[in-house]
Amino acid sequence: MKTLVVAATKAELAFFYQHFNLPEGDFVESKNFDLLITGVGMVATAFALGKHLSHKYDLVINFGIAGCFDRNVALGAVLNVIEDTFAELGAENGEEFISITDLGFGENYFTARTQRKVGLPLAKGITMNCVTGSEKSIKSLVERLNPTTESMEGAAVFYAAKQLNIDCLQIRSISNYVEPRNKDNWKIGLAVKNLNDWAIAFIGEMN
């Protein structure tokens, strides 16, 4: 059985490619794991996993950078996101938000699943189409869901893994705080480095 490593962009796993001497490509097969680059966002992620996720894998790991709502978490920190919610999936009723679950049309909340020891701080994530960047949206998301991390793919990976009953993990390093957009404050280099160091050690030890 194999692990499927999933990331939205090649840049997020640049050192991982180098370390394992992987060829350029969005779907790379190797002896002990395969690597899938999906593109950014849940639709691209769902489509790519629809094509590639199968029962030949016993674990799918989503690696990526993420925004963070909690200023007590350092930029560059690597977290194990064990819960994730499609935060925009539902309906507005004036100021109220009605989730897809409360509408009776399915689930919006998914979890990681594995027996493996990960040894990272645990976090609760949300998955968004639009990177949150206004005080009003931040306040509303914190009140409604109290998330620590925000990504654009996490819940989609958990969703796909659940459909096939395959174990899954989501490991994210913090590149930025969720705030009105100021890319000068983002520490993408640090987050990518820490994420790749962790991914290389974890995947290396599994094999």
The residue ranges that bind ligand LNDFFVEH (CB under 6 A) are 8-9, 11-12, 40, 64-67, 128, 131, 150-153, 175-176, 178, 188, 192
Unique residue bearing structure tokens 């930025």 = 176
CA dihedral 137→138→142→145, nearest 10 degrees, is 50
- Nearer to ligand LNDFFVEH among residue 2 and residue 9 (C-beta): 9
- Nearer to ligand LNDFFVEH among residue 59 and residue 68 (C-beta): 68
Helix (H, G, I), strand (E, B) or coil at 32: coil
Cα–Cα distance, 52 to 34 (Å, whole number) = 10
Provide, rounded to whole angstroms, the least separation between the CB of residue 150 and ligand LNDFFVEH. 4
- Nearer to ligand LNDFFVEH among residue 2 and residue 39 (C-beta): 39
- Nearer to ligand LNDFFVEH among residue 8 and residue 160 (C-beta): 8
Q: List Cβ neighbours of 87 (8 Å cut-off, separation of 6 or more).
A: 108, 126, 127, 128, 141, 144, 145, 147
Provide, rounded to whole angstroms, the least separation between the CB of residue 171 and ligand LNDFFVEH. 12
